Amino acid sequence: MANTIVRKGFLNIQDQKVATAVAITPGMLVERLAAGTVQAHSLAAGPVNPLFALEDAAQGKSISTAYAVSVPIMLWKPIPGEQVYAILDATSGATCAIGDFMESAGDGRVRTISTVQSSAGVEEFAQSFIGVALEAQTTAGGRVTIEII
């Protein structure tokens, strides 16, 4: 499979914004800010509108080349069923298995869902779901293909 962030796409909804104070690596989950800029998604297990940084293919850059601060970033808004090559959380020694539900780790990376709430014996999931892992990853900070849900 090609070394690209978009693993399977149907609509190719793209945008371009400038990052705030931190460099963004392709595959990071980002969030929009009021100033019309973006930053790495900052709320672990928080609500998420899936929006991912793409590699800057027009400049010949790879998925491992981070965007510098204040440089326009190519963004992709995947829809359910599309697949993204995201970055797995490194800070908690995170790993994932095929079928694990993924959420924001609070730093632009993703992690396995950490909490499942239960009410009257029924499991409830927060609005933090991004997708489902389509492959196992045993290296914290590695990349994982997830299907958007």
- Would the pTM count as exceeding 0.95? no
pLDDT tens sequence across 18-57: 888 788 999 999 999 988 899 999 999 889 999 999 999 8
Question: Is the confidence at residue 12, as pLDDT, over 90?
Answer: no
pLDDT tens sequence across 94-141: 789 999 999 999 999 999 986 666 666 666 666 788 999 999 998 888
Please tell me which residue, 4 or 40, carries the higher pLDDT value: 40
Question: Tokens for 108?
Answer: 């632009």
Strands (E), 20-130: 30-32, 37-40, 52-53, 72-76, 83-87, 101-104, 110-112, 117-119, 122-124
User: Distance between CA atoms of 75 and 54, rounded to whole angstroms?
Assistant: 5
pLDDT at 135: 95
Give just the sign of the alpha carbon dihedral 143, 107, 116, 50. negative
Nearest CA to 98 among 145, 28, 45, 50?
Answer: 145
pLDDT at 137: 92
Q: What is the largest CA-CA distance in the chain?
A: 54
Phi/psi of residue 57, each to 5°? -60, -30
Q: Which amino acid is at 49?
A: N
Please tell me which residue, 14 or 100, carries the higher pLDDT value: 100
